[in-house]
A and B are shown apart, each in its own frame.
Chain A
Amino acid sequence: MVGLQHPFQRLRYVNRQSAGLSDILVATAGRNLFSLDVSSGQRLDVWPQPIVEAPTGETSGATPASEGQGPPEKRRKLSSPAADEKDAEQEKKPAPEAKSMDSKKQDTNAWTNIPLLAVAQSKYVIIMTAEDKCVRVLSLADNGKLQELSSRIMPKKLSGLTLTPDESTILVGDKFGDVYAFPLIPSENYVRSQPQAKAYEPSATNLTVHTKRNLESLEQQMKQAALAKANPEERVALNFEHQLIIGHVSLMTGLISVSRPADSTVGPRNYILTADRDEHIRVSRGVPQAHVIEQFCFGHTSFVGSLCVPSWEPKVLISGGGDNYLLVWNWLENQILQKVQLPESETDITVSGIWDISFSPAAGDAASVQTIFVALEGSTQLLCYSLENGNSLALKQTLELCGNVLDLTAIDSKGSIVVSVDTLRQPNSTTAWKSMSQPPLETFRVSAGKWAPIEDSMVLQINGEGTSGVPEGLEQKKQTELNDAVYGLAKLRKRDGSDD
């Protein structure tokens, strides 16, 4: 492996044993999505495919930068292919970035990273590409090949992506605090609404505004309204079947979907848990009744970035974020079961991830494994807790990795976990770059009751092949952009601002 490589930002294990297929690891790094064979570590596919020319269909969305070419130009405003056609027809909005636009070809600079990743029904991969705010569903073929099926443009950048328990509906939460639901596979019969030339009419009248200045601006609005009639506005985001189901007036920082099994009094029930920058954890009913708020869980004093309901203990929620503690909840009752102090640190602590990992007893192992892993932003430590008596966390072990922990996933078939670590930045730094990348994955397995590093040919193979490259001598601004893409949480902490 040479030079600098993007770390794996997100990892997911796809268990396909029930379908009689080999298991797959899907991972995002830089602007690419990889599918990797779990037994051999062999790279099965990279999306988007490096293609020089772009004779592909409209939705396949290829023509990426070839690997090693480095991070593309950052671009925020982007139109859908449909909109591009309109642009081409109407020739308005002479935006400078539109120069390379082509309705048949997607811009190579559309995004630089893929911060959200989910897997549905073991055969669909859902990602959000960052800068173009696009939710893309790809099919994961039996042979591991990836093909884009749909792309849906959201109005705001997303901060959460999950699925309903039946894995047929995508739930996304955005930076404006809204949660949308839409079908995994868009239905055929949805009619795209044509941008209507709906005449704008000012809702103020000379009865509601009185000052000279306001009356003047009302007059201006009237003029604008007359102008707008001749010049219809078009907006491309959300032009697909969707429903706005939950809204916070805050930046959404966490979104999970939970299924509670039936108990003696009530049947099985689905819930959506959302968290925001204003310290809230909200418990809403699942789709289609997400408008009914059942509870708020109060106790954090900084943003809540991570939510985890252990699969083996669905009555319990573990939450963390900008506080130097975790909270363990009976989430349906707004009852704090435990406040877990995180290890002392000189700087502010930010929880970047909480994972529930469980394996049923494997051959040779007497006991099953149930561990809660907690990672801190910009830290090489991985904290391993056990959930005792279904109500309290006990720190069992702290794993020290070679780089900052970014994501992890369980490999069920091996009873191990794979952890992705930062390849670009120095250990315990979110800004200082290395001159040479380190391997992107490490793997652990429980041995004699303790998590211990193991050798795994899959990981060796993946680490040997590397991810996608980052050019040497990247200017500072670009480096900062890449840093922010991976370490954005600490910035959510509130500072004493000015008052108005």
Chain B
Amino acid sequence: MTTPQNPPAKRLKREEYRRELQAQQESTDDGSVIKMPQKKFFRQRAHANPFSDHRLEYPISPAHMDWSSHYPAFVDPDPTKTNLSGARKLTKDVEVVDIGCGFGGLMVGLAPLLPDTLMVGMEIRTSVLEYLSSRIHALRSQQQRLKNRAETSTEPQPEGEGAPVNDDDVGTTKIYPGNFENITAIRSNTMKFLPNFFAHHQLSKIFICFPDPHFKARKHKARIVSESLNTEYAYVLRPGGLLYTITDVEEYHHWVLRHFLHQPEEQREDGTIPDSSKDLFERLSDEELEADPCVRVMKYETEESKKVTRNNGKKFVAVFRRKADPEWST
């Protein structure tokens, strides 16, 4: 965002930095180390108005979405296989979405854990998205160089295990499963356009990590969790799929629970509960969370979760499973 207060020098510095970074990432292997982008050149205020039009690009429908430039390693080798917009098809569908992915800590953390699963981070803020795209690009380039060296060298190359160390400056020095070819980032307003990207029951996981709390009651309509939006999450999530939430705002945590689970006060006089999108979700038990490595990444790997840890804040986790659609009532 450009504001009048921004000294032009700052903007110029940012632009120059990004140009250099891009050139460096695209250069051939001259023995130098590929630098990771630095966040300070990509900072942007933490809020965006989800109701305004922005200048968003989104596909007419999921069948029009061109994923081929996002996942070059997964493009179907058959060039005749194209989708409705004429773009090359992938060998598999995108299955995991991080809504409001920010600087992408979760994506990078999950990538080696689920190396064969295509994942996308969606973010409405342009600068932050640029950072993440640059970060993923740098990681892939680093991995490519490490692989090239492994092929030419007789010495065994170190292999990374589990989630990589999120070192902003260094990036990766080991080869990780999937080589970060399975993650990407897209600018979008998911509150409006999630169904444009993903078809009915396409997704197996949705992450909502440290969402903008929109503290004022007047702004609650802008929250990313609501009964109305939950119907859309249910639409794109397959039965059995999981929706992960984490927040450091206790009131928001209760808001999440209230909007995914039936509350005792909903009960009518005759004992029945009104039908709602809450019928479509059930909460996972603590034991199930314990056994899920994604929960650990979400709790400790994302930028926001590290910030909360630094500030001794609390973290509230709730994960919900998509139930099957109810029988038609007539």
Asked whether A293 and B330 contact (CB < 8 A) given A203-B249, A288-B275, the answer is no
Q: Are A500 and B325 in contact (CB under 8 A)?
A: no
State the CA gap A282–B54 with chains docked (Å): 22
Chain A contacts of B193 at CB under 8 A?
278
Does A231 sit within 8 A of B, measured CB to CB?
no
Q: Are A207 and B55 in contact (CB under 8 A)?
A: no
Asked if residues B48 and A500 are in contact (CB atoms below 8 Å), the reply is: yes
Is residue B284 within 8 Å, beta carbon to beta carbon, of the partner chain?
A: no
* Interface residue ranges of A475-500 to B (CB < 8 Å): 494, 496-497, 499-500
Q: Which residue of B lies closest to A279 (CB)?
A: B60
Q: What residues of chain A lie closer than 8 Å to B232, measured between beta carbons?
A: 293
Q: Is A203 touching B54 in the complex (CB atoms < 8 A)? A: no
- Determine the residue in chain B with the shortest Cβ distance to A497: B53
- Contact partner of B215 (CB less than 8 A), chosen from A178, A203, A244, is A203
With beta carbons under 8 angstroms apart, the residue of A243, A266, A292, A298 that contacts B196 is A298
Which residues in window 267-306 of B have CB below 8 A to A? 274-277, 279-280
Closest to A246 in B: B228
B54 in contact with A497 (CB, 8 Å): yes
B235 CB, nearest partner CB in chain A, Å: 4
- Residue-by-residue, is A279-300 near B (CB-CB < 8 Å gives 1, otherwise 0)? 1101011001101110110110
A203 and B213 form a contact (CB under 8 A): yes
| Most B-side CB within 10 Å, residue of A268, A289, A496 | A289
- Structural contact, A204 and B60, CB atoms closer than 8 A: no
B227 within 8 Å of A (CB atoms): yes
As a 0/1 sequence over residues 206 to 249 of chain B, the CB contacts with chain A under 8 angstroms (1 = contact) are: 00000001010100010000111101101100000000000011
Q: Contact string, A241-281, partner B, CB cutoff 8 A, digits 1/0?
A: 00110111110000000000000001111000000001110
Question: Is A203 a contact of B251 with CB atoms below 8 Å?
Answer: yes
In the bound complex, CA of A247 to CA of B227 (Å): 8
Residue of B nearest to A292 (CB): B325
Give CA–CA (A178, B328) in the complex, Å: 23
**Interface residue A92 (Cβ < 8 Å from any Cβ of B):** no
Contact B326 A203 (CB under 8 A): no
**Could you say which residues of chain B place their CB within 8 Å of the CB of A243?**
274
The distance from the CB of A261 to the nearest CB of chain B, in whole angstroms, is 12
Q: Is the CB of B226 within 8 A of A296?
A: no
Contacting pair A267 B330 (CB below 8 A): yes
Residues of chain B lying within 8 A (CB to CB) of residue A248:
228
Residues of B within 8 A of A203 (CB): 213, 215, 249-252
Across-interface contacts of A177 in B (CB, < 8 A) = 228
B115 at the interface (CB under 8 A from A): no
- Cβ A291 vs Cβ B195 within 8 A: no
Q: Bound complex: CA of A177 vs CA of B229, how far in Å? A: 11
Of A221, A267, A296, chain B has the most CB atoms within 10 Å of the CB of: A296
User: What is the bound-complex CA distance between A298 and B61, given in angstroms?
Assistant: 6
The interface centre, meaning the residue of B52, B53, B189 with most chain A CB atoms within 10 A of its CB, is B53
Interface pair B330/A268, CB less than 8 Å apart: yes
Contact (Cβ within 8 A) A247 B330:
no
Q: Is B158 an interface residue (CB 8 A)?
A: no
Interface size class of A (residues with CB under 8 A): 35 or more
CB of A341 within 8 Å of the partner chain:
no
B191 CB–A CB distance under 8 Å = yes
Interface residues of B in 159-190 (CB under 8 A from A): 189
A312 within 8 A of B: no
B152 within 8 A of partner (CB): no
With both beta carbons as reference points, the residue of chain A lying nearest to B328 in the complex is identified as A269
**Cβ-neighbour of A293 out of B54, B62, B234 (below 8 A):** B234
Residue of B whose beta carbon sits closest to that of A498? B55
Contact B126–A499 (Cβ < 8 Å): yes
Contact B227 A244 (CB under 8 A): yes
- Nearest chain A residue, comparing its CB with the CB of B248: A208
Asked if B229 and A247 sit within 8 Å, CB to CB, the answer is yes
Chain B neighbourhood of A499, CB < 8 A: 1, 54-55, 126
* B47-104 with Cβ < 8 A to chain A: 48-55, 60-64
Cβ contacts under 8 Å, A200 to chain B: 217
**Chain B residues with CB below 8 A from A289, complex form:** 275, 326, 328-329
Q: Does B13 contact A (CB under 8 A)?
A: no
Within 8 A of B (CB), among A188-230: 200-205, 207-208, 210, 221
CB contact between A291 and one of B61, B215, B279 (< 8 Å): that residue: B279
Residues of A close to B43: CB separation below 8 A: none
Q: Which of B15-23, B105-113, B309-317 faces chain A?
A: B309-317
* A269 to B, closest residue via Cβ: B328
Given contacts A291-B279, A499-B126, A500-B54, contact A285 B221 (CB under 8 A): no
Q: How far is the CA of A278 from the CA of B328 in the complex (A)?
A: 29
Minimum C-beta distance from A142 to chain B (A)? 34
A291 close to B277 (CB less than 8 A): yes
B149 adjacent to chain A (CB < 8 Å): no
From A201, A207, A291, A494, B314 is in contact (CB under 8 Å) with A207
Cβ-neighbour of B249 out of A204, A494, A497 (below 8 A): A204
Can you name 17 extra interface pairs (CB under 8 A) apart from A250-B192, A291-B231? A177-B228, A200-B217, A203-B213, A204-B213, A205-B250, A247-B228, A247-B231, A266-B328, A269-B328, A278-B192, A284-B231, A291-B275, A291-B280, A293-B231, A298-B196, A301-B60, A497-B52
Q: Closest 3 A-B residue pairs measured CB to CB?
A: A247-B228, A203-B251, A298-B61
Identify 10 residue pairs between A and B in the complex whose beta-carbon atoms are under 8 Å apart, listed by A's number: A203-B252, A210-B311, A249-B51, A278-B193, A289-B326, A293-B195, A293-B231, A296-B195, A298-B196, A299-B60
